[in-house]
Amino acid sequence: MRYLKLIPAVLLGMILTACSVSQQLYDAQKYDQVIQRLAPGICHGDHSERHINLVAASYHKANQADHERIQALKATGQPDVWPEIYQRYCSMKGRYDALKCFPRKVKNGMNYIKLNLDDDMMAARNKAEGYLVAKASQLLNAGTKESAEEAKQYIDQLQQTNKESAQLLNLQKKYALYTADKVEIRFFTDYELPEGFQDVVFSFDENELPQGIEGVYVMKRPKHPFAFVVVKKLNFSPVRLDEVTFKEHNNGKTVEVSDHSQNKSVTVSGFIRYFDNDLKRELGDVPFEVKSTFKNDFTTIRGDREACSAETLSRLDNSQPLPVPTDESMLLDAARKLNDVLAAELRK
């Protein structure tokens, strides 16, 4: 029975402690922490007048401070203010959402009214994204490790502002390139490719890579991979031979002309997956598809050559049947095209 008598005292102590801490946070103008601490309880039935009053005061004071700061930032007309403006709009919306679950009577008592922030937030996000992309790009285009390190803060802000930004992956990739001591790439496929395929993919010409990157190190299990080149699918088209036959006549002479077309293609598709070594996570994939195509047109005749038109004679003299290349040789040709794709990706 002695323990049962202690329970009300313990609960009272907890309540008083909670009130004391919340009041201290409020006095220190840490209004969001007050809301985070007390709002869940009010949503679940804690209708303590003191708690409700603390949350209400915190809500309105924090929103008023953000509103005044937003107006002051907009008045400067400077492009660098938009990331902060957007974050303050997000804070206001976060507070509004945190109080949505309050009973209607409580909302009415604390003057909780609907905030129409969607259009303002979207406009602020777009302007913030535009500024952050431009600033990070400017620093990265300098092509030095120091400027890349400075760009990192803007790239991180961009990810917080819009993680779906179309420019985010390229900026993260450039940062990783310019700050890496060496570029390690792993090649991966489940297919059996011809000997030398990987060597061709990673054989870069002089000045083909970005400034400051001496070469790409292809490793089976790199400790710090920058990217993975993954060949996911090979598609071989069958050899196709099309033929059109017709007759030509000239001065009573006749010739049968056949126009032939040989076709074959090999398509290699997959993706380049970039990796963030600092955060130990994937940044994203860039799909690729390269195609090696063999096409040869030639003409043959049966009959009197003198019956041929000038056009037919030109085709006869300038074309001939060629041996169809093997799958292996066409795959190596596709590897050269994949090398160009990879080089262009690294230069973006």
**Contact, 86 vs 125, CB < 8 A?**
yes
Segment 106-120 shows an average pLDDT of 91
pLDDT value at residue 43: 92
Instruction: Please give the pLDDT value at position 326.
Output: 94
**Cα 76 to Cα 259: distance, rounded to the nearest angstrom:** 72
> Looking at the predicted structure, is the pLDDT value of residue 4 above 50?
no
Output the average pLDDT for the chain: 86
Angle at 247 between CA 241 and CA 250, to 5 degrees: 140
Residues whose CB is less than 8 angstroms from the CB of residue 293 and which lie 6 or more positions away in sequence, other chains included = 263, 264, 265
Type of residue found at 72: A
pLDDT of residue 15: 45
pLDDT at residue 307, rounded to an integer: 93
pLDDT band of 185, cuts 50, 70, 90: confident
pLDDT at 3 over 50: no
Residue 347 pLDDT: 77
How far apart, in Å, do the first and last CA atoms of the chain sit? 75
pTM of this prediction exceeds 0.75? no
